[in-house]
């Protein structure tokens, strides 16, 4: 028993030490910064004040936070709706010998710069772009595809989809076929066996995918800026601007902690219903 | 495989999957096509060429950054995936108290926005006195990828059957053997997927790397982002295409082996792929001995390799170039200390910020005899009285770029950008100081005002303008103008000068109300190690012939009066590079506003948030 315990500690240690030194310690430094003040030249004057948090709770910034949460929710649902069928096909229907290659092909585009791929989307979507030229070639009317909410969501879906497909795939791929057979033998139709067997069995994958899509979407700024035309502020732009333009690190740090606390609060609220769903 | 009762839904799944692959690869196809486009900008197709491949293969900076990206990506992938897999296994094998807490500790790091992680890591490395370089970049990449890998492997392990492993142990297999024979095959798909994703996150990371990279450790994304200021060049598309081809070949080799083909069949694609990936290691050249190296930290496309080669030959030294894409990145890195650069290129207001924080060394003017070549208009400005800390290198303006095809008369006033006739055809720079500055100038005020009433009026003008604006963009605005999506664009001159070469229908004017002047300067950080060589380099760039060569090759406006007569006539005549003399008098520098910076930031957020 003691040996097992030692083994568990040994397995956890590298990850925890890495994150302790490279994430939690720096975050602590940031927390200290967030209690300080911006100096006239963009440095940090240390203090113990909650003024930055007070400022972050201004309705202007809360509206932006709310809008970002909405964008992240919609992105997550969109990715789930597109990603689940794809992951299901890859994991259950694709010939087994092709699976690894097909999965790698999902990730391969992400080895080129996101910025460059966003520029490529502009070439596809702009008024004289590839899509519109194809539309008018087919005798269809041209569409306004760029610099609107549609373009933002398209960019978000594009940027986050693999982060949904991969965890779904790894949990669908291990799904035991005998469970499905048993369900069929017991007279369950396809829909019922999907809802009552497949979904509950792959909940860990769904949860992981949603976490990996939802959280980064909260901080999104490239797709809203480049494809959306930068006409709407999201929390990602706002935090970015504090560090990279206004050089107001204390306020940027405070905004970031407000964002992190929002996410943690959402998880605490959602934990119960999720656990309940898993128990069903 | 047992076919379900439903071939119908199966076909639907297949179609959705196929469409998803089309969606994922559509921009990749564009990128590959553009890598063969003879035109420099994506706005139009100018015929096919292989030039960009040749240019990329002979550009030492791009090759070195690609090499660095591959090194960092591989190291970070190995460390992060191993640590994450181990941690996930701990949850699989054991039940212990506080499991939820430990799991949360390993997952929470996905929550922090990248920029915050970046700044916090810079604080950490500064506190530890670590020199910025490969080590810090790899550590930082591990920091933001471990949690992703953990979440993925954990999703696989959750609810796993322990039976097989226990059976193996019961049958006398040791822990290592049972891991290799039983556990690893079970979790392998997840480990592989996690590794691929970690590599993707690492090789595309810009934000974190831009904060923690040091001398000689610039990665490909840093190269790409820094090129934005001068217009992303198709060389990047060529490099991306080669990277895709190389990984595609490796993938093919792995696939062939998986299919049970002979190793010999797989050897050709594997060798080709490895050869392509290895090329940057051979071509980029190794690091030079530190004693005779000048570390230059500068904007992209600010100095040509041949110019650097002249300096290297004259002094028997090596010049190491790292690139940045914003003054703020430069300020952050220099404020943290330990950056290790000998010469930097801050813009006017950043010189002031750096100077006031004692981060710049006093220049020895006796070592800069060619400073007399610089036109007096660019000397002794308020940001650096007497040029005690900095020497002008390039200068530029912001103004209105327009398409002659669509806008008959050249615009003369900032008012054109607020004109409802051009609704939906206007582009504004996505930059608080420039956009608010344009509104202020239009009404005849200084763009450095702190007067709340004037700022309120500017806010109202910009809010009224917002429905007319097609997009706010300060990265590839020249491309958007060139493609015809907008007709009028607030713009910086450098990128427009390059667009005018490709399309003579593009014009550039400085509005009659006046506009922004910026001056980029060479300066020496206070912790520079090679001070004498740094002075020699600065003076070298001030020599008339060298300044003319820099201006001719990079096509930014030169402040070097002695160089002007040596420039080709068509460059002298380009109104974006050398605006008419009467316009120069109406230009104003953007000043650092100290506390009021926050006011501008809030104003801009209000406009964007409306």
> Using a CB-CB distance cutoff of 8 angstroms, which residues of chain A are in contact with residue B609?
60, 63-64, 232-233
B245 falls within a domain:
yes
Same-domain check for residues B358 and B413: no
Same-domain check for residues B377 and B449: no
Whether residue B161 has pLDDT greater than 70: no
Whether residue B435 has pLDDT greater than 70: yes
> Using a CB-CB distance cutoff of 8 angstroms, which residues of chain A are in contact with residue B225?
115
Whether residue B5 has pLDDT greater than 60: no
Whether residue B8 has pLDDT greater than 70: no
Whether residue B280 has pLDDT greater than 90: no
Beta strands in B443-485 (DSSP E): 469-472
Contact A39/B357 with Cβ under 8 angstroms?
Answer: no
B9 pLDDT tier (thresholds 50, 70, 90): low
Q: Best-predicted range by mean pLDDT among A134-143, B192-201, B429-438?
A: B429-438
Same-domain check for residues B262 and B191: yes
Compute the nearest-CA separation of B292 from chain A (Å).
33
Query: For chain B, what is the mean pLDDT?
Result: 88
Q: Which domain holds residue B365?
A: 292-389+526-555
Same-domain check for residues B114 and B233: yes
Same-domain check for residues B140 and B195: yes
User: What is the number of alpha carbons within 13 Å of residue B36 lying toward its C-beta?
Assistant: 6
Across A214-226, average pLDDT: 88
Do the Cβ atoms of A113 and B4 come within 8 Å? no
pLDDT of residue B3: 43
User: Which residue bears the tokens 């992951």?
Assistant: A87
The whole model's pTM is what? 0.90
Across B535-541, average pLDDT: 97
DSSP B450: -
Same-domain check for residues B110 and B223: yes
Do the Cβ atoms of A23 and B93 come within 8 Å? no
Q: For B445-480, how does the pLDDT look when each residue is reduced to its tens digit (9 = 90+)?
A: 999 999 999 999 999 999 999 999 999 998 889 989
In A67-126, the residues whose Cβ lies within 8 Å of chain B are 82, 85-86, 88-90, 93-94, 96-97, 99-101, 103-124, 126
Return the CATH number at B497: 3.40.190.10
pLDDT of residue B162: 67
pLDDT of residue B287: 56
B49 falls within a domain:
no
pLDDT of residue B345: 96
pLDDT of residue B155: 83
B118 falls within a domain:
yes
Do the Cβ atoms of A4 and B93 come within 8 Å? yes
Compute the nearest-CA separation of B375 from chain A (Å).
29
- Of B24, B120, B472, which has the smallest distance from its Cβ to A29's Cβ? B120
pLDDT of residue A158: 96
Do the Cβ atoms of A23 and B117 come within 8 Å? yes
pLDDT of residue B229: 65
Q: Is A177 in the B-facing interface, judged by CB distances under 8 Å?
A: yes
B579 falls within a domain:
no
d(CA B97, CA B102): 9
Do the Cβ atoms of B432 and A245 come within 8 Å? yes
Distances (CA, A) of A280 to A202, A272, A275: 13, 13, 9
Same-domain check for residues B378 and B239: no
Q: Is A211 in the B-facing interface, judged by CB distances under 8 Å?
A: yes
Domain boundary among B257, B283, B309: B283
pLDDT of residue B312: 94
| DSSP codes joined into one string, B280-336 | HHHHS--PPPGGGEEEEEEETTSS-HHHHHHHHHHHT-EEEEEEES-HHHHHHHHHH
- Of A90, A170, A247, which has the smallest distance from its Cβ to B190's Cβ? A170
Name the helix (H) or strand (E) containing B62.
helix B60-93
Beta bridge partners, B520, equal B347, B394
In B448-477, the residues whose Cβ lies within 8 Å of chain A are 466, 469-473, 475-476
Domain boundary among B233, B249, B283: B283
Of A67-71, A275-279, B335-339, B573-577, least confident by mean pLDDT is A275-279
Same-domain check for residues B127 and B175: yes
In B339-368, the residues whose Cβ lies within 8 Å of chain A are 353, 356-357
Q: Is B121 in the A-facing interface, judged by CB distances under 8 Å?
A: yes
- Looking at per-residue pLDDT, the higher value among A209 and B501 belongs to A209
pLDDT of residue B4: 44
- Looking at per-residue pLDDT, the higher value among B43 and A106 belongs to A106
Q: For A193-207, how does the pLDDT look when each residue is reduced to its tens digit (9 = 90+)?
A: 888 888 888 888 998
Same-domain check for residues B359 and B437: no
- Based on the structure, what is the number of domains in chain B? 3
> Using a CB-CB distance cutoff of 8 angstroms, which residues of chain A are in contact with residue B127?
29
Q: Is B371 in the A-facing interface, judged by CB distances under 8 Å?
A: no
DSSP B557: B
Across B117-138, average pLDDT: 90
pLDDT of residue B227: 79
pLDDT of residue B115: 81
B560 falls within a domain:
no
B340 falls within a domain:
yes
pLDDT of residue A43: 82
pLDDT of residue B566: 96
Q: For B335-387, how does the pLDDT look when each residue is reduced to its tens digit (9 = 90+)?
A: 887 788 999 999 999 999 999 999 999 999 999 999 999 999 999 999 999 99
Across A127-152, average pLDDT: 90
Q: For A35-84, how does the pLDDT look when each residue is reduced to its tens digit (9 = 90+)?
A: 999 988 788 888 899 999 999 999 999 999 999 999 999 999 999 999 99
Return the CATH number at B92: 1.10.3720.10
B268 falls within a domain:
yes
Q: Is B27 in the A-facing interface, judged by CB distances under 8 Å?
A: yes
B232: left (phi over 0), alpha (psi -120 to 50) or beta: beta
pLDDT of residue B518: 94
Across B253-270, average pLDDT: 80
Whether residue A277 has pLDDT greater than 80: no
In B167-186, the residues whose Cβ lies within 8 Å of chain A are 175, 186
Whether residue B489 has pLDDT greater than 60: yes
Same-domain check for residues B413 and B275: no
In B517-576, the residues whose Cβ lies within 8 Å of chain A are none
Whether residue A280 has pLDDT greater than 60: no
Across B538-548, average pLDDT: 97
Same-domain check for residues B167 and B238: yes
Of A71-80, A112-121, B42-51, least confident by mean pLDDT is B42-51
Whether residue B554 has pLDDT greater than 70: yes
Angle (nearest 5°) at CA A192 between A186 and A195:
125
Contact A35/A250 with Cβ under 8 angstroms?
Answer: yes
Helix axes A114-125, B7-34, angle to 10 degrees: 100
Interface A-B: count of C-beta contacts within 8 A: 382
Domain boundary among B226, B255, B283: B283
Same-domain check for residues B188 and B257: yes
Q: Best-predicted range by mean pLDDT among A232-246, B241-255, B536-550?
A: B536-550
B197 falls within a domain:
yes
> Using a CB-CB distance cutoff of 8 angstroms, which residues of chain B are in contact with residue A246?
432, 597-598, 600-601
pLDDT of residue B159: 63
Domains observed in chain A:
11-279 (1.10.3720.10)
Chain B: residue whose CA lies nearest to A242: B601
Of B4-18, B120-134, B316-330, least confident by mean pLDDT is B4-18
- Looking at per-residue pLDDT, the higher value among A61 and B584 belongs to A61
**Whose CA is closest to B52, among B68, B41, B64?**
B41
In B202-231, the residues whose Cβ lies within 8 Å of chain A are 203-204, 206, 220-221, 224-225, 228
Calculate what percentage of chain A has a pLDDT beyond 70: 96
Whether residue A7 has pLDDT greater than 90: no
């Amino acid at each position: 028993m003691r040996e097992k315990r030692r083994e568990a500690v040994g397995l956890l240690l590298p990850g925890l030490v890495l994150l302790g030194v490279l994430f939690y310690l720096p975050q602590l430094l940031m927390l200290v910064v967030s209690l300080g003040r911006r100096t006239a030249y963009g440095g940090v004057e240390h203090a113990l004040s909650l003024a930055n948090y007070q400022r972050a709770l201004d309705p202007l910034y809360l509206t932006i936070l709310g809008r970002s949460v909405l964008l992240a929710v919609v992105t997550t649902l969109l990715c789930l709706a597109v990603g689940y069928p794809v992951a299901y096909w890859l994991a259950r229907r694709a010939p087994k010998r092709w699976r690894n290659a097909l999965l790698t092909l999902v990730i391969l585009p992400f080895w080129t710069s996101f910025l460059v791929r966003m520029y490529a989307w502009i070439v596809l979507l702009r008024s004289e772009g590839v899509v519109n030229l194809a539309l008018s070639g087919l005798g269809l009317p041209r569409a306004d595809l760029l610099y609107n909410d549609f373009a933002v969501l398209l960019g978000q879906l594009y940027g986050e989809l693999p982060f949904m497909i991969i965890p779904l795939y790894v949990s669908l791929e291990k799904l035991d076929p005998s469970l499905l057979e048993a369900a069929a033998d017991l007279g369950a139709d396809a829909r019922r066996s999907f809802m009552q067997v497949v979904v509950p069995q792959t909940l860990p994958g769904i949860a992981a995918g949603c976490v990996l899509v939802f959280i980064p979407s909260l901080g999104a700024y490239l797709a809203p800026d480049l494809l959306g035309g930068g006409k709407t502020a999201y929390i990602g732009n706002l935090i970015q601007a504090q560090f990279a333009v206004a050089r107001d690190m204390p306020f940027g740090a405070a905004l970031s902690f407000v964002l992190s606390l929002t996410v943690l609060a959402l998880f605490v609220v959602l934990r119960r219903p999720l656990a309940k769903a898993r128990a069903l | 495989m047992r076919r379900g009762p439903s071939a119908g839904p199966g076909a639907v799944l297949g179609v959705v999957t196929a469409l998803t692959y089309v969606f994922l690869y559509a921009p990749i196809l564009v990128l590959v096509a553009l890598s063969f486009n003879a035109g420099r900008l994506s706005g139009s197709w100018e015929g096919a060429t292989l030039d960009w491949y040749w240019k990329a293969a002979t550009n030492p900076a791009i090759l070195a950054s690609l090499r660095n990206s591959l090194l960092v990506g591989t190291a970070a992938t190995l460390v992060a995936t191993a640590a994450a897999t181990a941690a996930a296994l701990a949850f699989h094998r054991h039940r212990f108290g506080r499991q939820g807490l430990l799991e949360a500790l390993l997952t929470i790091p996905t929550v922090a926005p990248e920029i915050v992680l970046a700044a916090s890591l810079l604080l950490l490395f500064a506190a530890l006195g670590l020199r910025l370089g490969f080590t810090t970049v790899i550590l930082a990449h591990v920091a933001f990828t471990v949690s992703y890998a953990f979440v993925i492997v954990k999703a696989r392990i959750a609810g796993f059957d322990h039976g097989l492993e226990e059976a193996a142990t019961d049958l006398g297999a040791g822990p290592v053997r049972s891991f290799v024979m039983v556990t690893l095959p079970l979790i392998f798909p997840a480990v592989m997927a996690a590794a691929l994703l970690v590599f993707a996150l690492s090789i595309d990371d810009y934000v974190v790397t831009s904060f923690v990279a040091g001398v000689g450790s610039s990665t490909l994304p840093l190269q790409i982002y820094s090129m934005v200021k001068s217009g992303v060049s198709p060389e990047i598309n060529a490099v991306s295409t080669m990277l895709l081809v190389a990984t595609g070949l490796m993938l093919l080799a792995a696939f062939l082996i998986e299919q049970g083909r002979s190793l010999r069949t797989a050897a050709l694609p594997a060798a080709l792929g490895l050869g392509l990936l290895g090329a940057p290691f051979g071509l980029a050249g190794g690091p030079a001995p530190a004693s005779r190296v000048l570390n230059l930290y500068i904007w992209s496309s600010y100095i040509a390799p041949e110019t650097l080669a002249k300096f290297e030959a004259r002094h028997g030294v090596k010049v190491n170039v790292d690139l940045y894409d914003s003054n703020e990145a430069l300020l952050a890195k220099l404020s943290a200390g330990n950056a290790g650069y000998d010469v930097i290129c801050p813009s006017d207001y950043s010189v002031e910020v750096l100077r006031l924080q004692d981060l710049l060394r006093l220049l020895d003017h006796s070592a800069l005899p060619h400073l007399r070549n610089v036109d007096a208009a660019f000397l002794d400005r308020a940001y650096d009285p007497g040029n005690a800390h900095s020497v002008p290198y390039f200068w530029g303006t912001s103004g209105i770029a327009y398409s002659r095809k669509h806008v008959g008369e050249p615009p003369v006033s900032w008012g054109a950008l607020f004109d409802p006739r051009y609704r939906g055809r206007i582009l504004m720079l996505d930059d608080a100081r420039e956009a608010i500055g344009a509104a202020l100038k239009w009404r005849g005020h200084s763009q450095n005002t702190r007067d709340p009433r004037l700022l309120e009026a500017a806010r109202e003008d910009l809010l009224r303008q917002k429905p007319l604006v097609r997009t706010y963009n300060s990265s590839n605005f020249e491309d958007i103008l060139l493609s015809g999506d907008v007709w009028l664009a607030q713009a910086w001159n450098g990128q427009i000068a390059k667009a005018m070469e490709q399309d003579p229908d593009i014009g550039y004017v400085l509005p009659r109300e006046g506009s922004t002047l910026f001056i980029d300067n060479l300066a020496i950080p206070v912790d520079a190690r090679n001070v004498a060589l740094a002075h020699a380099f600065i003076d070298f760039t001030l020599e008339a012939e060298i300044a003319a060569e820099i201006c001719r090759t990079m096509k930014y406006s030169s402040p070097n009066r002695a160089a002007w007569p040596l420039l080709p006539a068509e460059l002298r005549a380009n109104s974006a590079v050398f605006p008419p003399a009467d316009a120069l008098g109406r230009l104003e520098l953007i000043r650092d506003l100290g506390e009021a910076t926050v006011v501008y930031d809030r104003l801009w957020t209000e406009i964007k948030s409306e």
